[in-house]
A and B are shown apart, each in its own frame.
Chain A
């Protein structure tokens, strides 16, 4: 996992301690929290929305909300589930805002933007490219698991659903990813044959 995104190594007691210190007004703890979680939150937003500007705005908004409701974190509870529940809300609000703006604008026949690849020479598509075609709910759950390093239980808490429902979404997402990966491999093999 990317070092700047890796909060899983500091999840559990460490992240909880930092959060508790942040609640008690420790400036260093606030900065540590921003450093530890911003990378994965940024990826969470950009993989859901695709635009860098929007991800920037949402990252700023999520920290503003975290700061405003920091007293609602209860020591001993999973920090990541708390953070991602807020991040998810920010994303929903942003989505609504975007939808409202889009409704007012004249619809243009533009195909959805395809994210830039990590280089065509790579054998496999990147995680972001791979999850882009998935339904939003599956992409969200998978991003929380993979990038955020949340457990199934934590994802269930963050999305206000049950662990069973999260498992089902993950299973469907994996099923789809397997098929997509197979298609990618087949397509590559066919191109190789033609050459």
Chain B
């Protein structure tokens, strides 16, 4: 047995588990592992909060102790977030028209909306995990946001082609405004769901929520805008989603920095 293999067993040993004979043999013959095992088995002795301190904490908790309803299951929260995306997309389509949807060919339609729904699903799943402390996060939120935005940009670059557009900026700004309006609506509705949870990392949770809201705005634009110029879509449509994610990140950063300033003692 090697020192590396013994490491895992030392952790279990520290928690009171028995150590297998082959590991015992290694530890007996290895001075470094023997010392490490001894230290890990030792009890940290000097860290006990005072009785008064514990009593104060208990009193504070008991004065405000009432039954609470556990947070809704992850599936329910996920569906709620995806429903917001659908509602914002549908309302946008009804209010602004579906010229964009009609302008797209079947392969473009399938690729664009499938990638948007899939990306939104992954962001919604990540958000549901982020608002529950101790959840298993398979991918850091910032990696997820960057990767998904990159994939969508690649799809758009492949599906659409550059076209001459004399009013690139003026029409673009209209799309950006519409996209951001959709994102703000989705962001506010998402907040109603997310506020039920515990946001431990406001910066990344807000950035993820901003990205999800941005995808709602992007969905509205893909349904409404018939402009198929590649640069228009990449700059103004995807730009709305990126601005929304950046706004989320900025809001989260402010919240994170201000959370460190607050101290609320237990009465």
Interface locus among B3-11, B94-102, B104-112, B228-236: B3-11
Closest chain A CB from B3 CB (angstroms): 7
Size of interface on A: residues with Cβ below 8 Å to B? 81
> Given A4-B48, A74-B132, A147-B44, is A38 in contact with B197 using a C-beta cutoff of 8 Å?
no
> Do B57 and A38 touch (CB < 8 A)?
yes
Among A74, A125, A171, chain B packs the most CB atoms within 10 A around the CB of: A74
Proximity string of chain A (1-42) to chain B, C-beta cutoff 8 Å, 1 when within and 0 when not = 110110011000000000000011101001100110011001
> Do B54 and A35 touch (CB < 8 A)?
yes
Cβ-based interface call for A93 (8 A): yes
> Given A60-B57, A124-B35, is A71 in contact with B69 using a C-beta cutoff of 8 Å?
yes
> Given A89-B200, A125-B39, A174-B10, is A182 in contact with B44 using a C-beta cutoff of 8 Å?
no
Proximity string of chain A (158-177) to chain B, C-beta cutoff 8 Å, 1 when within and 0 when not = 10111000000011001001
> Do B65 and A2 touch (CB < 8 A)?
no
Cβ contacts under 8 Å, B132 to chain A: 72, 74, 77, 82
> Given A8-B16, A27-B62, is A182 in contact with B71 using a C-beta cutoff of 8 Å?
no
Interface bin, chain B: 35 or more
Cβ contacts under 8 Å, A34 to chain B: 54, 57-58, 61
Closest chain B CB from A79 CB (angstroms): 8
Cβ contacts under 8 Å, A127 to chain B: 39-40, 42, 44
Interface locus among B84-92, B152-160, B258-266: B258-266
Our pick among B14, B32, B73 for the contact of A182 (Cβ within 8 Å) is B32
Complex: A134 Cα to B162 Cα, angstroms: 55
> Given A60-B265, A178-B36, is A39 in contact with B49 using a C-beta cutoff of 8 Å?
yes
Chain B stretch 45-84: residues in CB contact (< 8 A) with chain A: 45-50, 53-54, 56-58, 60-62, 64-71, 73
Q: Can you show 17 pairs from A to B with CB atoms below 8 A apart?
A: A5-B44, A30-B61, A31-B58, A61-B264, A64-B266, A71-B68, A71-B71, A72-B133, A74-B71, A78-B134, A83-B133, A86-B198, A93-B259, A96-B257, A126-B46, A171-B4, A181-B35
